[in-house]
Amino acid sequence: MQVMRVASNGTIVLTDGRAAKLEGILLPGGARDHAPSFLTAQAISELNDFTNGRLVTLAAKPPKEDRYGRVRAQAFSEKGDWLQIALLRKGLARVFIAPDRDECASDLYAAEREARARNAGIWAQLGYEIRDAADVPRTDLGTFQIVQGRVTNAEVRGGRAYLNFGSNWRDDFTATVSPEDIKVFHAAGIEPIGYAGKLVRVRGVVEQLNGPEIELATPDDIEVIADPKPSPADAKLR
């Protein structure tokens, strides 16, 4: 399949009129992320370098199209570059796994961690640093963030799971799982209350519940972090 152009939102437009969305990642949003816009332009430029006027291979599984009719694909350049991994390694995307399409999650997360360890791309910007669950600023409301902290307690009320990251649920950060999405966790053999006491990272759009909240749609929205009880010198979020 030959690429005609890359749209400003990162959609790959093919010469046969179809469009492809890079599944499993989220490109920098610039002002939408409360972050510098040059990273958005850089991500689009990289995509153009990989694809413009060239052939790409698209790998998609059901459901293959989004509501806009775009093919939801893992994409590979004619030189064999896996585009999602290439962008993640350059620090020009974050992992964003849809609940109905969880393929390649471990590979995508590994590439993101590699870039973050090198402070590549977005990871050198304050707007994209991992938030501490103890201090998620109100300015993050409405933005996609990665938040790290320890789940102090977890419970299910009214069919909804609540993972609390502090002693005061009225003000502290909380991650929730809707009654419908709990089925996704259960299908994966995961009980959300089992995260109690664990050091985790969660990702999603920050909303206001009582304090700040992220709703988790899939187990891929939460990573359990190895907990070696680091010294203060090692405690910086990475």
User: What is the CATH class of 3-124?
Assistant: mainly beta
Region of 18 (left: φ > 0; alpha: ψ -120 to 50; beta: rest) is beta
pTM of the model: 0.91
Report the candidate in 88, 176, 89, 174 with the shortest Cα–Cα distance to residue 136. 174
Q: Which CATH number fits domain 130-230: 3.40.50.10090, 2.40.50.140, 3.30.9.10, 2.40.30.10?
A: 2.40.50.140
Q: How confident is the model at residue 102 (pLDDT cuts 50, 70, 90)?
A: confident
pLDDT one-digit tens code per residue, 16-74: 999 999 999 999 999 999 999 999 999 999 999 999 899 999 999 999 999 999 999 99
In DSSP notation, 98-166 reads BTTB-TTHHHHHHHHHHHHHTT-GGGGSGGGSPEEGGG--GGGTTSEEEEEEE--EEEEETTEEEEESS
Domain with CATH 2.40.50.90 in the chain: 3-124
Average pLDDT over residues 75-90: 96
Pairing of strands 144-150, 199-208: antiparallel
Q: Does 238 score more than 60 pLDDT?
A: no
pLDDT one-digit tens code per residue, 173-220: 999 999 999 999 999 999 999 999 999 999 999 999 889 999 999 999
Task: Give the C-alpha separation, 189 to 229, whole Å.
Answer: 28
What is the per-residue pLDDT for 229?
62
CB environment 170-204: b (16+ within 10 A), e (fewer): eebbbbbbeeebbebbeeeebebeebeeebbbbbb
Domain with CATH 2.40.50.140 in the chain: 130-230
Task: Give the C-alpha separation, 89 to 109, whole Å.
Answer: 10
